[in-house]
Amino acid sequence: MTVGIFDSGLGGLTVLDAVSRRLPEMTFIYLGDNAHAPYGVRDADDVYCLTKSHVQKLWDMGCDLVVLACNTASAAALRRMQEDGVPKGKRVLGVFVPLIEALTERTWGDNSPPREVGVKNVALFATPATVSSRAFQRELAFRAIGVDVEAQACGGVVDAIEEGDMILAEALVRSHVEALKRKMPHPQAAVLGCTHYPLLQEAFQAALGPDVQVFSQADLVAESLADYLDRHPQMTGADLPARFLTTGDPKRVSDRAMQFLRRKIAFEAA
């Protein structure tokens, strides 16, 4: 039973790590488009074309279900892919759904009118492309009213992570949090709207302060995927061996992955 996981680079490994712990009986084929990372500075059409081609590759390999473990791809490509038509027997899921479920405390299948929720002031940290898409605000508005979202485009953070420069990445986090607080001095909650950002969750929390609840996606996506597969067991796909694929340099990407996850991962060329 195999599920595909796609990301623009290394960030989706945070999701892979979480879903592997939650679903130990499953195998996963991970595909990172490191050659074109980061997606967060690309325009929507470019992100759509890149995402669609790599999801198709995972479908062709036998993964009936593919998770877009990338907020930029989820924001810029997912809805368009679904509107264009997904092949029969195939599915593609994004990472916004579990996050908004947690934030609004309502399930995705709850189609009742939007209502007030406990959190009123939310800080969104994301890539420039995700921020400009306003996809998070749009999906949130379907389910909640009275929530003020202040978005901060975190330029440079993904690049620093992909390059393995965590000192620079942490400095950038502090700078972006300071910029956000100038616009929203007292957020109640903060959303890490990029799957790279859980690698810096402690830095975000330290900069925001202990009173701000930080929502990170990896564990939320893992729990949501487990629930989805329980309701749609036919989407588990063929029984394929686990693989790690990259469009970048396999050795370099493997070294970076080991640095982040503290375990050896051997990538191969996609």
* Residues with catalytic roles: 70, 194
Pair of tokens at residue 31: 């595909």
- The phi and psi torsions of 172 (rounded to 5 degrees) equal -65, -40
Give the position of tokens 């490509």: 77
Dihedrals phi, psi of 135, to nearest 5 degrees: -65, -40
Per the structure block, which two tokens stand in for 146? 């009275």
Helices (H), the chain: 12-22, 44-60, 71-73, 79-84, 96-104, 128-133, 135-141, 157-162, 166-183, 201-208, 217-231, 250-261
